[in-house]
Amino acid sequence: MALDHYIPQVHLKKFYSPALGNRNYAIRKTDLKAFTPRSEDVCRIMDGSTNAYLQKDRAVEDFLRTIEPNYSAALDKLIAGTIDNECIYTSAGFVAYVVCCSPTGMRIHSGPLKSVVESTAVPMDAQGLIPPAPAALGGARLTELLHDGTVEVTIDPKYLQAIGINSILEKITASVANCRW
């Protein structure tokens, strides 16, 4: 089991405060208390980059090996205004990774897919393509169960992460990289 950072440590280190002995100022979401962590202690999840929906469950690691080593140099180029192709690729890749693999990114992308599943289920149910619920649920139609809250569509965020990882290079990074720099 790996403890994976959804915000790379190389990025977090850019926000170290010399006054804190190379730590960050931070606020914990759970209790809104201030604390001063090291980069390795925040923005991480156990097996956050592991995804069982993919054939190679740690596929995103191959992508990150092309981004993280170049991140500091890319940020320096952005600040200096000396943007080149490597800077663009690295910056776009960083953005793409955060969009696909951070908890917030996965949560944000869950809503639209949930809506698609629900809005597809209703006409399918009306056409009789979905069998009635089991007797334990009163034999009701799916539409009724969704409407009264007995059944709820939930989307596994890891499924959305897998979709993002599969398209991280050709679609997401390319889209960001093709913006005006």
Is residue 151 within 8 Å of residue 142, measured between CB atoms?
yes
Query: What's the predicted TM-score (pTM) here?
Result: 0.81
Name residues whose C-beta falls within 8 Å of residue 44's C-beta, 6 or more positions apart in sequence. Answer: 3, 4, 5, 6
Domains of the chain, residue spans: 1-48, 53-177
- pLDDT, block means (10 residues), the chain with 181 residues: 86 92 92 95 91 94 93 94 96 93 91 94 94 90 93 94 91 91 86
Residue with tokens 């596994």: 156
